[in-house]
Amino acid sequence: MPERTDHPQPTPSPTQALAVAVIIGTALALAPIPAEAAHRAADAFTLPAPEATPEPTPAPEPEPTPVLNYDNDGLYWGAETIAATEALIARERAAGTAIDEWNVTDRDGQPLRIVRCADPDFLDTICVIPGEPRPAVAA
């Protein structure tokens, strides 16, 4: 009678265990499946009907370029839309406020309109209104 040993079996390394799992998984995936079993499995699992494709939503309108407002000291105190600023200038003109205007360009050559509405009781309002951008010129 052969002598019995109680030596533990060697533990496979993680790489060996992964290789065994891959081989078993591949064997199961490639094993022939009887047609009847495949049809029963397909009948038991039906995919839901595809949902209707939603209409694409239009891209939001870009935010209008804001008008930046400053005081006499050059401190930024707020921003407004071009339409609201034009309405402010029209109201100030109608009220007889002294208004100075300059048309300049920024460092990139884009036009700016600077409007100063004088206020004898408080700080003047200086509005920096962006103009229509000029097309880039190829160098």
Mean confidence (pLDDT) of the chain: 76
Q: State the pLDDT confidence band at 100, using cuts at 50, 70 and 90.
A: very high
Q: Are strands 67-70 and 125-130 parallel, antiparallel or unpaired?
A: antiparallel
**Residue 25, pLDDT score:** 63
The answer to whether residue 139 is domain-embedded is: no
Same domain as 76, residue 26 = no
CATH of the domain at 81: 3.10.50
The answer to whether residue 78 sits within a structural domain is: yes
- Measured between alpha carbons, how far is 40 from 46 in angstroms, rounded to an integer? 11
- List the single range of 9-13, 47-51, 54-58 with lowest mean pLDDT: 9-13
Q: Is residue 80 part of a domain?
A: yes
The span from the CA of 3 to the CA of 1, in Å, is 6
pLDDT digits (tens, 9 = 90+) for 21-45: 666 666 656 666 666 665 665 565 5
Residue 36 in any domain: the answer is yes
Q: 112 lies in a domain?
A: yes
Are 79 and 113 contained in the same domain?
Answer: yes
Domain that holds residue 20: 14-42
| Paired residues of 115 in beta bridges | 101, 127
Residues 31 and 85 placed together within one structural domain of the fold: no
What per-residue confidence (pLDDT) applies to 122?
A: 83
Same domain as 72, residue 32: no
pLDDT(9) > 60: no
User: Which of these, 125, 19, 27, 139, lies nearest to 80 by C-alpha position?
Assistant: 125
Q: Which position has the token pair 């930024």? A: 76
pLDDT band at 46 (very low <50, low <70, confident <90, very high): low
- What is the spatial distance between Cα 70 and Cα 119, in angstroms, rounded to a whole number? 13
Question: How many structural domains is the chain composed of?
Answer: 2
Q: What is the CA radius of gyration of the chain?
A: 39
50 residue type, one letter? P
